[in-house]
Amino acid sequence: MNKILTAFRWRMSFTTALAGVLSIGLSGFALAAGGPAPLTGGPISGAPAASSSGTEAQLNAGYDYTNSVKRPRAVDTSGIGLEHPPTTDPDPCSNPNVAKSSAIIAATNSSSQLVALATGKKVYVCGMSGVVSGAAGTLKLTTGTGTACATGGTDVSGLYTGSVGGIPFSHTGGGMTTPVSQELCAITAGGSVVAGGTVSYVQQ
């Protein structure tokens, strides 16, 4: 009788243990089949914020990193980066990007050519300075054709007068221009006149 009871108890223990193993196994199978549970909540703390542009160093390197895509930056041709921005002033004397030339005034009671004519071009006088000496000495700029503006001469400047000790003269800012295809000359007058100086100009 005792042997029968012992065998019965052993069988019940084995059955209970087997049921527990099966229960654990089935739970694990269900978890594997369903996958992990989704995470909830906001973004992970400390994550970098999204940005639509690159760093200042990257932009200065000549590339645009908008939306993390590297593209060459557009070239600005409006004049930014030039030593001086472009100008719409028709007088080249006012344009700092236009190179200026110079001519020397050295005359004694005579007419002298300062700038030779160039077909289809004007002479723009950007500035002038010097000294006129002689009690009755005078100086003026004129334009025309032929030898020393002898043909069709027209005054470009006013009359600068001298004195025994010499009187300085100057002009800045442009405003004096020859007609197309004409030369620029200096005319001095007066028995003892001596004029010396320089003229800054653009011919185009």
Assigned token pair, 113: 């050519």
User: Are 101 and 174 within one domain?
Assistant: yes
Clarify whether residues 141 and 192 are in a common domain.
Answer: yes
Phi, psi of 56 (to 5 degrees): -60, -35
Residue 187 lies in a domain: yes
Same domain, 70 and 137: no
Count of domains observed in the chain: 2
**Residue 39 resides in a domain:** no
| Same structural domain, 127 and 153 | yes
The CB density around residue 201, as the number of other CB atoms within 10 Å, is 25
Q: Are residues 77 and 98 in the same domain?
A: no
Mean pLDDT across the chain, nearest whole number? Answer: 74
Residue 119 in any domain: the answer is yes
In a domain, 181, yes or no: yes
Query: At a CB cut-off of 8 Å and minimum separation 6, what does 118 contact?
Result: 181, 203
Are 57 and 122 in the same domain?
Answer: no
CATH number for position 102: 2.60.120
Asked if 98 contacts 174 with a C-beta cutoff of 8 angstroms, the reply is no
Give the pLDDT confidence of 25-62 residue by residue, as tens digits: 444 444 444 555 444 554 444 444 444 445 555 555 55
Q: Are 76 and 104 found together in one domain? A: no
Q: Are residues 72 and 154 in the same domain?
A: no
Taking only the tens place, the pLDDT of each residue in 69-115 is 666 655 555 555 545 455 556 789 989 999 999 999 998 888 999 99
Q: What is the mean pLDDT of residues 136-151?
A: 93
126 lies in which domain range?
92-203
Quote the CA–CA distance of 30 and 39 in Å, as a whole number: 19
Of 81, 100, 118, the position where a domain reaches its end is 81
Q: What is the pLDDT of residues 144-181, one digit of tens each?
A: 999 999 998 899 999 998 888 888 988 887 789 999 99
Contacts of 60 (CB under 8 A, 6+ apart): none
The Cα–Cα gap between 25 and 29 comes to 6
